[in-house]
Structure 1
Amino acid sequence: MFGASAPAAAAPGNGVIEYGEFVLWEHSNYGGALYDSNGNLANYSGYFFVNSGTQLNDRASSIANYHQTRSLRTYQHANYTYPYISVLPYGQASGNVSWAYYSLGSFNDNLSSHLFF
């Protein structure tokens, strides 16, 4: 007799967008390859967009925070070094700050780390 097992927890970097994750896309308008993460990442060097040979560092062009309660900052430099973009929890917006950015403006292809808080 076989017993039922609990579903496996989502793994960061699996290419599946799930609640609790921060997602970066290679292109504007949430296009191209993506990278999903459910934790902090101090340095994008050595990480790649899922199913892509493209390195993550300085290559993201759109982002979204799918965590329902935690805000996030994504930094232009490694090790959470300024300047940064504030990203609100999923579905929230306040003034010019949102949970998702289809275009990163001057931060386009310039992100190197992110931190939930």
Structure 2
Amino acid sequence: MEVFADFLAGIDNLSHRERMEEVLTWVGDTFLALVPKIGWNQPMFTDHDTYIIGFSIAKQHLAVAPERAGMIRFKTDIDNAGYDQTNLLLRIRWEKPVDYSLLKKMIEFNIADKADCATFWRK
């Protein structure tokens, strides 16, 4: 995924860079119709020019942002996975595994829920 090359190269911690690359590659390989892009200096995926999911990094975690609707819909699943969460994102600590089945459900929900969305963000 060349679109993310500069972003990934800017991650100094090699294990964090590898984890982020693994997640981004998984999303791209699993959801071939999604468009990878950099927006607001963060990697994200869109569908028909509407936001589906985005990612960011911090010292202690990888953050996943499925928009508020996704956070509400999957609050219990996020809790059960042992991830911290805010109103807009969940945090996967670097030492914890990525729950790809949860990530898949979140992305599938956003794709279906935003199928007729004509804006980048939900209104």
- Higher Cα Rg, which structure: 1
Name the one with the larger strand percent.
1
Name the one with the larger helix percent.
2
| Structure with higher RCO (Cα < 8 A, 6+ apart) | 1
- TM-score normalised by structure 1 residue count: 0.34
- TM-score normalised by structure 2 residue count: 0.33
